[in-house]
Amino acid sequence: MTTRWDAVVVGAGPAGAATALLLARAGASVLVLDRARFPRDKACSEYLSPGATPVLERLGGGILDAIERAAHAKLSGMKVVAPGGAAMCGHFVGGGEEARPYSFALPRTSFDTILVAAAARAGAEVRQAASVEDLVWRGRAVAGVVARSGNGKRAMCLARVVVGADGLRSVVARRLGLVRSASPRRIAFTAHVSDVAGVDGVGELHVGEHGYVGMGPVGGGVTTVALVVPLSAVREGRRDYRAGFFDELARFPGLAGRFDPRFLVREVLVTGPFAQWSRTPVARGGGALLVGDAADFFDPFTGQGIYSALRGAELAAEILLPAFAGGVGGGIDPGRKPGVLQGSEPVPYAALAPYRRARRREFAGKWLLERLIGVGVGSPALTNRVVSRLARRPDLADLLVSATGNVVSARRVLAPTVLAQLVW
């Protein structure tokens, strides 16, 4: 069986669902494929930075109202505890009129389902339990995907563009030969725990000698807890981080005694390794681009992932819709049936190249800030110094937390004068 679409979106997480929603709403024929069935759990910080809220408002479709109705938490800032015990707390400030002074946090079982439903209402066809096995090529350009459904049947889905939104282990990125990695490489073990002592409306980051723990409430008395350790430590096999999850948490002074293992409400999930990205978010021969974690994976200590997924979806749609309208057959007809193309040629690289530049403009500062923080977290001495400085300078603490929350520009933190104040 072969079908034709304007866009085949691989992955129905935040990046894929948001991209599909925007394209379908504008009249494009869109097919979304995901190997999972929703709702589904995912190892994640489950944190939507304050900068994500304006994007959710722009997406429309009742998404923000649905989040407000679901069990959720609101975080006003972030607390960081250094290996030596120094602690700082920064709050989200300075985001302008459209930003709110808090972030949402809710389980991915709820958030992803809300987005997938909104994409379907906008006209996208969503097929769950459908795994993409390979790409279809027309010369050097991507022209679709080969997918296997839950019943084992294969289908060829042709498209003018394939959007790889399939996460850290993206099949699309691998088939394009674009995946790259670098140090530091880390693995995250995440769980949901109820009735955690001392949770007070801010996210927490506890840095240790060999890893860190990020945690925050997600509504209904539940806290998401992520233990992040070096990949090398996991490969050594000296500890079973899943079975000994709570013992590992107790090694952090700021967490000892705050958890009751009997209140584990979701099994420990694993994701990683991190520090992975694609050399370019656009296929060199045209016909494909990458969004979200498939393009660049943010280490969860900054909470950038969902924001970058949603904002990246907007950037992708801004490039793809004009490209579709310029194809064979003229503009997009909102009344046409799914699977009916007005043009059949893959979108050329020249039409997709602006997406690469748009991502660089949007995320370059955030990428650099995230990498610098990653290096710092891997150095206990540096973390102790910076956190001690921030504990004495709440203005700098607010600035750093607001930058990681996407409510002020990362470039403000990257200014030499500010970096100097953080260290000396």
Predicted confidence (pLDDT) per residue in 184-238, tens digit: 688 899 999 999 999 988 999 999 988 899 999 999 999 999 999 988 888 887 7
Residue 334: the pLDDT is 45
Amino acid (1-letter code) at residue 141:
A
On the question of pLDDT at 331 being above 50, the answer is no
pLDDT, residue 338, reads: 42
Give mean pLDDT, residues 329-346. Answer: 51
Q: What is the DSSP pairing of strand 87-91 with strand 30-33?
A: unpaired
Domains delineated in the chain: 2-74+104-182+276-364 (3.50.50.60)
pLDDT, one tens digit per residue, over 249-269 is 999 989 999 999 999 999 999
Helices 380-392, 394-404: axis angle to 10 degrees equals: 120
- Kindly state the percentage of the chain with pLDDT values over 70: 92
Tokens for 270, please give them. Answer: 């694993």
Element (H, E) at 56: helix 52-59
Check if the beta carbon of residue 221 is closer than 8 Å to that of residue 233: no
255 and 243 Cβ atoms separated by less than 8 Å: no
pLDDT digits (tens, 9 = 90+) for 136-179: 999 999 999 999 987 888 999 999 999 999 988 899 999 999 88
Residue 303 pLDDT grade (very low, low, confident, very high; cuts 50, 70, 90): low
Question: Tell me: the pLDDT tens digits for 342-395?
Answer: 457 999 999 999 999 999 999 888 888 888 887 777 788 899 999 999 999 999
Helix axes 14-25, 52-59, angle to 10 degrees: 40
pLDDT of res. 95: 54
Are the CB atoms for 161 and 239 separated by under 8 Å?
Answer: no
Is 45 or 53 the better-scoring residue by pLDDT?
53
pLDDT, residue 273, reads 76
Cα–Cα distance measured from residue 327 to residue 175, given in angstroms and rounded to the nearest whole number: 26
pTM of the model: 0.91
Q: Give the pLDDT of residue 181.
A: 75
Q: What is the mean pLDDT of the chain?
A: 88
pLDDT of residue 1: 57
User: What is the band of 298 on the pLDDT scale with cuts at 50, 70, 90?
Assistant: low
Residue 215 sits at the vertex; the CA angle it makes with 258 and 39, to the nearest 5 degrees, is: 115
The model's pLDDT over 114-142, given as tens digits with 9 standing for 90+, comes to 999 999 999 999 999 999 999 999 999 99
> What percent helix, strand, coil does the chain show, rounded to 5?
35, 25, 35
